[in-house]
């Protein structure tokens, strides 16, 4: 299986890190949805990162759907999402919160980096910045002071939260004050020190 996309996408990085944590081997090809549009379109005409090229040549897209496919191939004791019950529901909820954080950071970044200044809409930026802030407030409230949400090892929500935070600081430096999110900041430092995160640096 080959993962297509740049690691500066939080969605691509989420898949790459999670696959490593689960012990599922993925090849990786850095193709940009902006700088290499034609090359990307030849792989996936919808130009969405991440795209996964499966072993039979078929493609999948959307990080959550790709991880569903990857997780099904991992040994049961390496999977990052609890199989059933309240633990699964809780993990899926937390992943959802982190995915909103990623989405709002991406939207905000597109507003400031891609949209011409004359066409910016301040009310929209105010809305997405508030949603981003709230998502990290929820993450801050959920994270433990030490260790992982997954207790003895990082789970899918740990990965998503850490990646959302690192990405936000890369593309929106200074927009969120780490002093307001001490658990998120410390959790990010712990996560980024893991070999699986270090092997997937933001490009
Ligand atoms: N919900 C999707 C979001 C993926 C996404 O929006 N990726 C961005 C890159 S960070 C992208 O493909 N942007 C190009 C576009 O939407 O045209 C996921 O979880 O994979």
pLDDT for 32 equals: 97
The answer for 85, left when phi > 0, alpha when psi is -120 to 50, beta otherwise, is left
Q: Which fold has domain 85-198?
A: Glutathione S-transferase Yfyf (Class Pi); Chain A, domain 2 (1.20.1050)
| Ligand 1 proximity of 63 Cβ (cutoff 6 Å) | yes
| Ligand 1 proximity of 69 Cβ (cutoff 6 Å) | no
pLDDT at 21 over 80: yes
Question: Which 3 state secondary structure label does DSSP give 151?
Answer: strand
Give pTM, 2 decimals. 0.97
pLDDT at 126 over 90: yes
Pocket test for ligand 1, best of 3, 36, 37, 49 (most atoms within 8 A of CB): 49
- Domain 2-78 CATH assignment equals 3.10.20.30: no
Per residue in 46-84, pLDDT tens? 999 999 999 999 999 999 999 999 999 999 999 999 999
Give the Cα separation of 20 and 135 in Å (integer). Answer: 26
Pocket test for ligand 1, best of 16, 32, 33 (most atoms within 8 A of CB): 33
Q: What are the structural domain ranges in the chain? A: 2-78, 85-198
């Amino acid at each position: 299986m080959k993962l297509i996309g740049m690691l500066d996408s939080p969605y691509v990085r989420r898949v790459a890190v999670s696959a490593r944590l689960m012990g599922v081997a993925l090849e990786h090809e850095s193709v940009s949805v902006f700088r290499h549009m034609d090359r990307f379109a030849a792989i996936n005409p919808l130009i969405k990162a991440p795209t996964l090229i499966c072993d039979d040549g078929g493609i999948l897209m959307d990080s959550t759907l790709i991880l569903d496919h990857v997780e099904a191939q991992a040994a049961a004791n390496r999977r990052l999402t609890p199989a059933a019950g309240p633990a699964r529901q809780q993990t899926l909820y937390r992943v959802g919160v982190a995915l909103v954080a990623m989405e709002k950071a991406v939207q905000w970044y597109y507003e400031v980096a891609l949209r011409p200044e004359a066409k910016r809409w301040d009310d929209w930026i105010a809305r997405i910045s508030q949603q981003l802030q709230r998502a990290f407030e929820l993450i801050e409230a959920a994270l433990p002071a030490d260790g992982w949400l997954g207790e003895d090892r990082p789970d899918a929500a740990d990965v998503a939260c850490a990646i959302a935070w690192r990405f936000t600081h890369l593309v929106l430096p200074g927009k969120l004050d780490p002093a307001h999110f001490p658990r998120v900041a410390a959790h990010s430092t712990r996560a980024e020190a893991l070999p699986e995160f270090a092997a997937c640096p933001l490009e």
